[in-house]
Amino acid sequence: MNPKQNSKPLIVALDYPALDDALALADRLDPQACRVKIGKELFTRAGPQAVSTLVARGFEVFLDLKFHDIPNTVAGACRAAADLGCWMLNVHAGGGRAMMEAAVAALDGAPGRPLLIAVTVLTSLDDAALGEVGVGGGVAGQVERLAALTRASGLDGVVCSPLEIAPLRARLGDAFALVTPGVRPAGASVDDQIRIATPGSAMAAGASFLVVGRPVPRAADPAAAVAAINDECRKAASA
Ligand code: C5P
């Protein structure tokens, strides 16, 4: 997805253990200015109601549950996620081509078909950790291999670290969505992220969507933090 054509690249991660806390932040955000992400913790505690409540409030929801199972099971999970009205969902590319193709087929014809993306290699894994699970050759090669398999399987994009944006964009073209966490506005606390980029540099490298968590709720004015990130993205896209 060409970043220059994306007018709403920011996805705010609602990383909370309770729906009330997530809704308190959402109340301070404008669904026209950003999308939101629901991950495993909030979904496991609050369930489908977390998605439906945010959708009812006008937010486009990225349901970040990273499905990884046999094709039939993942297909059913994807159909269930689409029925909840989410805008984007994801699977692990390591589940293989048949699993990813089953996920694509399950979403075919779903009303308001969500975007389907894949996680390649978790950014918490380094070359040594990958080697321990039997994958030699390092992270970079495995990311490229799984991203190419994701595109060949008919998915819409991948999650990638800031360092991976430029090589994946060059290799996979403009139609493929690159969704990038590890984004920090200049001067913001890095927290536990290791490989980070600013919103502007991630967009300039070719990111389609940026996932930003803690810097938004931590700001005194979360809506102003979102506006500042959007401003930086717009400038980078028009440069
Ligand atoms: O608070 P922060 O901006 O670091 O949050 C980033 C969000 O992106 C979190 O929801 C985290 O789980 C998610 N994420 C990540 N790195 C990945 C994949 C997802 O930080 N490789």
Closest residue to atom 20 of ligand 1, CA basis:
181
Closest residue to atom 16 of ligand 1, CA basis:
181
Q: 38 C-alpha to center of ligand 1: Å?
A: 11
Q: 164 C-alpha to center of ligand 1: Å?
A: 15
State the Cα–Cα distance between residues 105 and 83, nearest whole angstrom: 15
Domain ranges of the chain: 3-238
Say what percent of the chain tops pLDDT 90.
92
The residues near 172 (Cβ < 8 Å, ≥ 6 apart) are 147, 148, 151
DSSP 18-55: SHHHHHHHHTTS-TTT-EEEE-HHHHHHHTHHHHHHHH
Q: How confident is the model over 1-23, as a mean pLDDT?
A: 88
Report CA Rg, the chain: 17
202 CB near ligand 1 (under 6 Å): no
pLDDT band at 1 (very low <50, low <70, confident <90, very high): low
The residues near 220 (Cβ < 8 Å, ≥ 6 apart) are none
Decide if 8 is catalytic: no
If we measure between CA atoms, which residue out of 172, 233, 204, 210 comes closest to residue 36?
Answer: 210
pLDDT for 110: 87
Q: How far is CA 58 from CA 6, 85, 86, 110, 183, in A?
A: 18, 11, 11, 19, 24
Closest residue to atom 5 of ligand 1, CA basis:
213
Q: How far is CA 183 from CA 212, 216, 231, in A?
A: 6, 11, 15
pLDDT tens digits, one per residue of 99-122:
999 999 999 988 899 999 999 999
pLDDT for 4: 53
The CATH code of the domain at 3-238 is 3.20.20.70
